[in-house]
Amino acid sequence: MKSLFLSLKKIPLLLLLYSGSVPAEILSIKDAAFKTPNGIIDADTFNDKVILVDFWASWCKPCLESFPWMNEMHQKYADSGLHIVAVNLDKDEELIDKFLAKVSPDFTIAYDKSATLAKQFGVSAMPSSFYYGRDGKLVARHLGFRDNRKDKYEAQIRALLGIN
């Protein structure tokens, strides 16, 4: 029993040591820059906007399911200050192009072939979504995309935009 207790006592220490190797999320959107086909977009693009940053890959089925919803959110709320940036992590441009042809996004697409930005954000699953308020600070993070949570996701966007 005593050895079990000593082993359990080590768990917090192990967690503390392990946590040092976990990448930190970008807590302010002002610390991020995104490579797009039209150049780099950075903090100046995001002034006084609510930002949804979504990391995705061509092989990810939930990513494919999330794009129509993101298109809908962009169409509904862009005029109210929502800016969506979907960051792709694929290396193969042909796979990216095939995916985008299926979903026809009407929001910003960015690329992170080296996964440098994904590491900075602490991405651990596909898709990973990060919601930033108008002040540029991280408000929420979602791992995966679930159809039955779309109302919750939209409610968060509406709250950040100040829409009842």
pLDDT digits (tens, 9 = 90+) for 102-149: 999 999 999 999 999 999 999 999 999 999 999 999 999 999 999 999
Q: Does the residue 106 lie in any domain?
A: yes
Domain total for the chain? 1
* CATH code, domain carrying 158: 3.40.30.10
Domain membership of residue 62 as a residue range: 48-164
* Global confidence as pTM: 0.83
Q: Give 128-160 as a DSSP string.
A: EEEEE-TTSBEEEEEES--GGGHHHHHHHHHHH
Residue 130 lies in a domain: yes
- C-alpha to C-alpha distance for 132 and 15, rounded to whole angstroms: 28
14 within domain boundaries: no
The answer to the question of residue 38 being in a domain is no
* E-assigned strand segments in 28-78: 34-36, 39-41, 50-56
At 79-105, the pLDDT tens digits run: 999 999 999 999 999 999 999 999 999
Residues 6+ apart with CB under 8 A from 9: none
